[in-house]
Structure 1
Amino acid sequence: MALDPAPYTGPPLDEIQWRAPPDFEMGIHSNSVLFYFAQSPFYDRTSNNEVLFQQGLNNPNVTPYLATRELFEGRLKTMSGLEFVVAQEPAETGPGAGTGVWVINKQSRRKHSPHDEIIVHGTYFVVGENIYMAASFADILSSRIAAISSSVQKVLPVASSAQSWSPAQGRVYPNPNAGTTSATTKQREATPLPDTTKSVTDTDISLPSSQLIEEALLIHEQHGDHNLDENPITGKPGDFQLASTGRKPVNLSTAAALNAKKATAQMTLPTLNTKLGSENPLAAKPTGKETKSPKTPGGGSLQKKKRKGSKAVATPQ
């Protein structure tokens, strides 16, 4: 079987589906699946499969290895380099029936003792007469990320259109159940209400206008760091002053100290002076209008009687 050595020029291999021309009469089975795969653009002409095939065509000693797939792959295991082998055969789904899916690996073999080192470079599927290249992990991850990004880009405009924003209420989302009413709600709506009853809706709430909001923001930008009190307090702790009047506010600690001093002064009594006469500066001066002692009936005053009594007493010499 002659192989076409023309190089493949076309779209990426993981985006194509290849099948043999209609004039290909060899059926796909265990002994022919590798030769059928060699017709596809996924095949590498520099692999050990091509070397062994060319040797089997020209060397009678190597020709028997082309008879069966087991002998062909057994011969490949003795060689080092790039090769194509069947990784999985069609699974049996019933008597004489299978999935018809062959899995072929593109791999490199390095001879080591006791086991060879195998590095898989790609995987291909033979489904019926069609051959596909399996996507790599990087391609799958990139595709999933692109799908997620595309979905997020579609969701954001929808979510943005479903909300409304206002300074008073913030972000508001409509209630999806607002249009559906239960039987109880319908029954309540059918009941007539008094004229004085008025339902409050969202339209009844007066919201600030955009002009008012802009003015408030402008005032905040101009006077955000200023003190807008009518009589602001300036100064430092212990020496506060009223900016408009210039008077100092009452210091609570000073007022408390003065009150305590007054209370102590009231509780302290003055010292009594026991000296009589002119030495006592607080003694009252005689004015001649002092109250006289009362008179007793039948006699003079008590002072005169005392004087008479004192003269009657004789003192011995």
Structure 2
Amino acid sequence: MAMKVPLLDEQDFNFPLALSDLEGHDINQANNFCWYFHNSQFFEPACNNSAILGHHRDDPATNFVLHDRNIFDERLRSIPEGLQFVVSGEPQGEGQPWLYQRQNKVRSVQGQVETFVEGNWYNRGTQVLMAPSLLDVLRARLLTVSTRLQQVAELSQDMAHWSPAGGHSYLPPSYGAPKTAATASRMGSPTLAPAELDQSQDTASAPAADPAEPTTEFSDALFMQSLMLTNRYGDEYMDENPLKGEPGAFVFTNTKNAVDERNKAQEQLSSHALSSQSTAQKVDARPPSVPPSVAPTPKGAATPVSTEGHTRKASGTNAPKDKKRERRKSKGLTSPTTPPRA
């Protein structure tokens, strides 16, 4: 099986010994790059360059054409048709490459000559490389983009999860947010150690720190700023004094003094309501008193003396009467002021 020959844009030419036959042995001189390129596999022997070289190489009178690149290029342009290699770009500084171009001039049916560019070559030192075409560049970029998109699609399939409660997500259910340090508080500032609470008053003049900036060590400036904000706005709430107006012109509904007076009035009303409620509970706890009997005592009957006092029980039940007391009431009592009859 014959070995597959690589494409021209996958080959290179590097033969420094070919410079030994040229003037100055340097590829950057005026005509050396052209003749150095003629030794590469990219050069086409059946081209207009080879025809001009064979016509003037054996003629001493016109041999100077081969040593002047400008005159050589004018002779190439004078040929109406055929394949030619011309210099399309010269190095503008040290280390910059030469640009050599392959052109094919074709005469159309209308008699006009059209030039087609079939390839570009550049050098990197003594190494000559073929520049990729625009189509090859676009193909390579599109292949890279499609490959990356395919990798992203495959990766997203492994990361996608679905559950009836949470729906679609791109994080596994077992994923947990990184836990913060044990010494960190909710706002990102570290908790205070007992030994660090005793700070000198000189820390009050320290520059204010950004509260949103995460810290891993105790910050005196952040601690003092937190205390200052607590003392200044600790008794204020967002819903106590709502804003009114339009964006860019918001104002508070009431002043701070009005809010304080309203809060004090509400506290007084609540305390008065609590005191009245407690007084009512005490009054209800006292036992109900039975009013004294207003029924008149019948004449001729003595009022019985009770050892239990003048009040009766609220239940209204009468104690059983003694038989002797009933017998005494039936006989009646004689008044001590009435003289006995004879």
- TM-score of the two chains, using structure 1 as the length reference: 0.49
